[in-house]
Structure 1
Amino acid sequence: MVDWDIRKLQILRTLRERGTVTATAEALRMTPSAVSQQLTNLAKQVGVPLLEAQGRRVRLTDAARLVLRHAEAVFEQLERADAELAAYLHGEAGEVRVGAFSTAVRALVVPAVRALRETAPGVVVRVREAEASEAYELLAAGEVDLALSLAAQAPTVGDARFTRLQLLADPLDVALPPDHELATAEGLRLAQLAGEDWIFGGSGPWSDITRGACEAAGFSPRQGHSASGWTAILAMVEAGMGVALVPRMAAVGRGGVVMRELGEERPVRHVVAAVRRGSEAGAALERVLSVFRDVAAGLAQGARRIP
């Protein structure tokens, strides 16, 4: 099999376009003797004459035209490779694997993927729903490139394996049934709901967050029902079975309940992104993080206004 030399094929191609060795040498910033030597070597490699004399000039043989006909497909593919590589280097192409908790998938990741389809369709995001402990195991093992979690569940800032990036301060709003007497009350305070049945998980971080917020407001919440999924919690609130503290991210786009902001006393949870230390310099990953920040900023600015 012939050991094809792309550079020599480019010289032959330029000779076909320019017509003379001198013009070819000028176009490629070579000497005429270097052009002739390279073409002689190419003819030896392929085992057939590529040029024949025509007066003071040379012309391509039929064998040379056959070689170039096949070489054009190679040149085309190399052009595509150059274009894709340039896109990759500028963050316009590549694959980024994201591990994220369910609320973040819905409120942050999906809108980010939609935005990337418009601005950088060559960037592919692979999503894996995972709670914090699993997401960071996957990140450390190199199975995802980016992990989203609550700050309280993320590795410490001093963990040398990861770089943490603050994305969003997600406020907690109160979900009320549509016909609740306080659904339209002005200046709603958490203490006004002390006598309500509350819906939250029996244990875990969300139970701690709900209990802590209510206790800070001066009462211990009476747990009427236990649930950990936001779909179930909001369905029960809609049915008038109780009230709940709900992250704004989890309530975006969900109807059937009245969401009320608590003002200055409202509790907040912090959402962070983490990457393997040093990997944030990758162009595609940097592009994805930038879009996540934009989506998070939209949420923070009250893209969905709470009365």
Structure 2
Amino acid sequence: MVDWDIRKLQILRTLGERGTVTATAEALRMTPSAVSQQLTNLAKQVGVPLLEAHGRRVRLTDAARLVLRHAEAVFEQLERADAELAAYVHGEVGEVRVAAFSTAVPALVVPAVRALRTAHPGVTLRVREAEAGEAYELLAAGDVDLALSLAAQAPTAADPRFTRVPLLADPLDVALPRDHPLAAAEGLRLADLAGEPWIFGGSGPWSDITRGACEAAGFSPVQGHSAAGWTAILAMVEAGMGVALVPRMAAVARGGVVMRELGAQRPVRHVVAAVRKGGADSPAVGRALDALRSAAAA
């Protein structure tokens, strides 16, 4: 029987995700030579090749994928063991490290912190602002316990490393200058604004969301200006430079901007939390998720 080494399996999994020994070493805070040595030893232990050259990178062999398919169940069970042990030793006490995207921090995480202080003072949140790519890297590496992102940027539900928890369907409202002819129009539809200059980022998730929502309404938005931050976007709307879709949880009141709902067919963006498989069994993580759900419901 093979003498399995959890650390070597973690290195193999990380290499499968990162694709190079150098990137794996950086992620695990190891030297490239140490990564190579550990994987060479693992291949000797299991008696089959685990890596094959693929251009300048390496990729997992079928045997390596077989090993990891079984290893994922082991990782999940160890996560559950950590959670149960923490519950045994500390009960509902502990620090939960959270990575969250910028608009989720004031809208969801801060209210959760306040709720936990009142209802479960033994549970504390340590917050790190991070976009989805970084957040899931931190979660996979064990550097955070919980990640918040848009569902479109989250790993799929089939990813064996994580459990996804739906939090919020955040409506997208349209921001108009206060003196816009349609600012007070009844039954405003997104299609009514097809001829307007739109303000959104040149690339990235918000660009995709804006374009996707407008195309679903039957038109391709003409980008009048490019900006990524909500302060800049709303300032330009206020100045009459264009219109913009704004998620409700990101909206900030400005005197010269009217926020209009778009009715039953309004677009939404979905916000999810994710934990490592088995991690939700931790009492502290469970309380943090409960607090985030309550913040989302409010």
State TM-score, norm by structure 2: 0.68
Per the alignment, residue 139 of structure 2 pairs with 139
Query: What is the Cα deviation at residue 243 of structure 1?
Result: 0.5
Per the alignment, residue 183 of structure 1 pairs with 183
Per the alignment, residue 122 of structure 1 pairs with 122
Per the alignment, residue 225 of structure 1 pairs with 225
Q: How does 1:288-307 map to 2 (within 5 A)?
A: 288-298=288-298
Q: How does 1:221-260 map to 2 (within 5 A)?
A: 221-251=221-251, 253-256=252-255, 257-260=257-260
d(CA) in 2 for partners of 1:139, 1:185? 45
Per the alignment, residue 112 of structure 1 pairs with 112
Q: How does 1:1-307 map to 2 (within 5 A)?
A: 88-89=90-91, 91=92, 93-251=93-251, 253-256=252-255, 257-298=257-298
d(CA) in 1 for partners of 2:102, 2:286? 22
d(CA) in 1 for partners of 2:199, 2:172? 14
Specify every segment of 5 or more residues in structure 2 that has no aligned partner in the other structure, as ranges: 1-86
Highest relative contact order (Cα 8 Å, sep 6+), 1 or 2?
2
Per the alignment, residue 70 of structure 2 pairs with none
Query: What is the Cα deviation at residue 86 of structure 1?
Result: 8.5
Whose radius of gyration is greater, 1 or 2?
1
Question: Given that residues 88 and 283 in structure 1 are in contact (C-alpha distance below 8 angstroms), is that contact kept between their aligned partners in structure 2?
Answer: no
Q: Can you list the C-alpha shifts for 1:56-87, whole angstroms capped at 9, x where unaligned?
A: xxxxxxxxxxxxxxxxxxxxxxxxxxxxx889
Q: Considering only aligned residues, what root-mean-square deviation do their CA atoms show, in Å?
A: 1.7
d(CA) in 1 for partners of 2:234, 2:243? 9
Q: Aligned with 2:223: secondary structure?
A: strand
State TM-score, norm by structure 1: 0.66
| Count of residues paired in the alignment | 212
Q: Aligned with 2:264: secondary structure?
A: helix
Query: What is the Cα deviation at residue 171 of structure 1?
Result: 1.1
d(CA) in 2 for partners of 1:248, 1:123? 28
Q: Aligned with 1:102: secondary structure?
A: coil
Question: Percent identity between the aligned chains?
Answer: 77
Specify every segment of 5 or more residues in structure 1 that has no aligned partner in the other structure, as ranges: 1-84, 299-307
d(CA) in 2 for partners of 1:255, 1:284? 38
d(CA) in 2 for partners of 1:210, 1:183? 19
